[in-house]
Amino acid sequence: MKTYQPKAGEIDRRWILVDAAGKNLGRLATVVADLLHGKGKPSFVPHLDVGDFVVVINAEKVTVTGKKLNQKTYYHHSQHPGGLKAVTLEKLLEEAPERVLEKAVRGMLPKTKLGDALFSKLKVYAGSVHPHAAQQPVALTTAQ
């Protein structure tokens, strides 16, 4: 018996459309991360990029439970003294709602070159309009 290794030409990539309206942020992020990594495919291999392209629309309508809107804080640092910046989830949802979902999904992907390649296949849009109609994305209906 031999372990199957998919070749570059054998990888079947689809475009999947996910509507985030009314979906829980964390649960949606896990579904999207699995689609990007290709974990639902029979040809899945952990060290190869066999996942699909994912287009997420209505990112501004994603929901969270509890007090996360006010208590969840995203931090980044400018690498200068006193350069720690903090922004709450509520403010980030108002300013750039697509970044909230991107941060959630990016945290669930590998922190390697493979993770960077997987993340580049994610397209997130705040509204319901997206420029990927030519790829004919298939709507995903099983996301919670």
pLDDT in tens, the chain (144 residues): 888 889 988 999 999 999 999 999 999 999 999 999 999 999 999 999 999 999 999 999 999 999 999 999 999 999 999 999 999 999 999 999 999 999 999 999 999 999 999 999 999 999 999 999 999 999 987 645
Which domain, by its residues, includes 18?
14-139
Place of tokens 């697509």: 98
Give the predicted TM-score (pTM) of the model. 0.92
pLDDT of residue 15: 97
In a domain, 83, yes or no: yes
In a domain, 1, yes or no: no
- For residues 10 and 64, give the distance between their C-alpha atoms in angstroms, rounded to a whole number: 39
Q: How many Cα atoms within 13 Å fall on the side-chain side of residue 32?
A: 31
State the CATH number of the domain containing residue 86.
Answer: 3.90.1180.10
Place of tokens 């580049």: 120
In a domain, 123, yes or no: yes
- For residues 134 and 30, give the distance between their C-alpha atoms in angstroms, rounded to a whole number: 26
Sign of the C-alpha dihedral computed for residues 111, 12, 1 and 34 taken in this order: positive
Number of structural domains the chain divides into: 1
In a domain, 72, yes or no: yes
In a domain, 4, yes or no: no
Amino acid at 50: V
In a domain, 5, yes or no: no
pLDDT of residue 124: 97
